[in-house]
Amino acid sequence: MSPALGDRLSFLGDRLRRDVPVGPLTTYRVGGPARWFLEVVDGEELAAVAAALAGTAPEVLVVGRGSNLLVADAGFDGLVLQLGESFASVDMAPTPGPDGAVVVRAGGAAALPVVARRTVEAGLTGFEWAVGVPGSVGGAVRMNAGGHGADMAASLMTVRLVDLATGEDVEVMATDLALSYRSSSVAPTQVVVRADLALQPGDRETGAATLSEIVRWRREHQPGGQNAGSVFTNPADDSAGRLVDTAGCRGLRMGSAEVSTKHANFIQADAGGSADDVFALMVEVARRVREHHGVVLHPETRMVGFPEFGAVLDGGAAS
């Protein structure tokens, strides 16, 4: 990343920070520093940043709650941008949605469990699944996050996007986002400012019971600690966790990273550990699954600063 980026954003003064560790911004809690870091305070500042960067093809990493992110130990030689608290609101929109739905407008920085609980408290149903996903609304839109038989695509209506590469600030229909299993067309330079969700009227007690059951199930079946949830996407008609387990990888360790003994599609990072160890273990697990089952696993985790995963799996250098 050219030092010119610092010049373009010099109006931010000391709010534009240098060499900020990215690991603490992720649930893996490992990884190197960002050359530049900015927590955006409000929409006005975001617009100013977008205007300053427009036309430069900036190397930008937008970080929400870091629950699906692994940054290499070498760090990120660009701008890490994170939305501040003013982007974490959850409000009921005054305009009704289609078919009697209630529209909930959630900021891009809003935590998914918070949105799930607030919508249930408001007597709405359709977003309970998100109570067990420790991500942000923006990240969930970008990867079409989901669980327990639902995903963002099921209720997402519209999204407001600010593109740091073009300066555009647009509202996009969910149908135009190419939402599919754990993916969308949201570009790395696009910031999800807010999302409108169409939810149906429901029963508060039933919703609260559903939330409790999801939380109980997650605690019973998934590990805590330093991980980023499911490592690999599920192949068609199969489970990545089953494939990893039956390939003999449960408990497999490489350096400071270990395949969880509680759920084989999770990798745990040791405190003070290495992101590169996590990546190396991911490659080794995928290699053993391919060798044992003939199935190629694809990472669900967003990886930054690493070589292309498939190339390494096929025999390229891991670092």
Per the residue annotation, which of 136, 184, 230, 256 is the catalytic one? 230
- Other CB atoms within a 10 A radius of the CB of residue 84 amount to 15
253 is catalytic: no
Mean pLDDT in residue range 39-46: 97
Domains of the chain in sequence order: 4-85 (3.30.43.10), 87-221 (3.30.465.10), 240-313 (3.90.78.10)
Rounded Cα distance, 77 and 66, in Å? 18
Beta carbons of 303 and 279 less than 8 angstroms apart: yes
Question: What one-character DSSP code corresponds to residue 1?
Answer: -
pTM for the model stands at 0.91
Beta carbons of 155 and 195 less than 8 angstroms apart: no
Per the residue annotation, which of 182, 194, 250, 287 is the catalytic one? 182
182 is catalytic: yes
Predicted confidence band of residue 100 (pLDDT cuts 50, 70, 90)? confident
Backbone angles phi, psi at 102, to 5 degrees: -100, 130
- Give the pLDDT confidence score for residue 316 in this predicted structure: 65
C-alpha pair distances (Å), 250 with each of 270, 277, 282, 293:
16, 16, 12, 15
- pLDDT above 70 covers what percent of the chain? 97
Per the residue annotation, which of 8, 142, 155, 300 is the catalytic one? 300
- Give the pLDDT confidence score for residue 318 in this predicted structure: 59
Taking the CA atoms of 144, 147, 151 and 155 in sequence, report the sign of the dihedral they define: negative
Backbone angles phi, psi at 92, to 5 degrees: -90, 120
The DSSP bridge pattern shows strands 76-83 and 33-40 to be parallel
- Give the pLDDT confidence score for residue 1 in this predicted structure: 44
- pLDDT per residue over 147-159, tens digit each? 888 999 999 999 9
What mean pLDDT is reported for the chain? 94
Beta carbons of 228 and 67 less than 8 angstroms apart: yes
Rounded Cα distance, 199 and 210, in Å? 15
Mean pLDDT in residue range 66-83: 96
Q: In which residue are the tokens 């949830």 written?
A: 229
**Which residues contact residue 311 at a Cβ distance below 8 angstroms, ignoring those fewer than 6 apart?**
none
Q: Which amino acid is at 257?
A: A
300 is catalytic: yes
Beta carbons of 139 and 145 less than 8 angstroms apart: yes
Taking phi over 0 as left and psi of -120 to 50 as alpha, with beta for the rest, 196 belongs to beta
Question: What one-character DSSP code corresponds to residue 111?
Answer: B
- Give the pLDDT confidence score for residue 3 in this predicted structure: 58
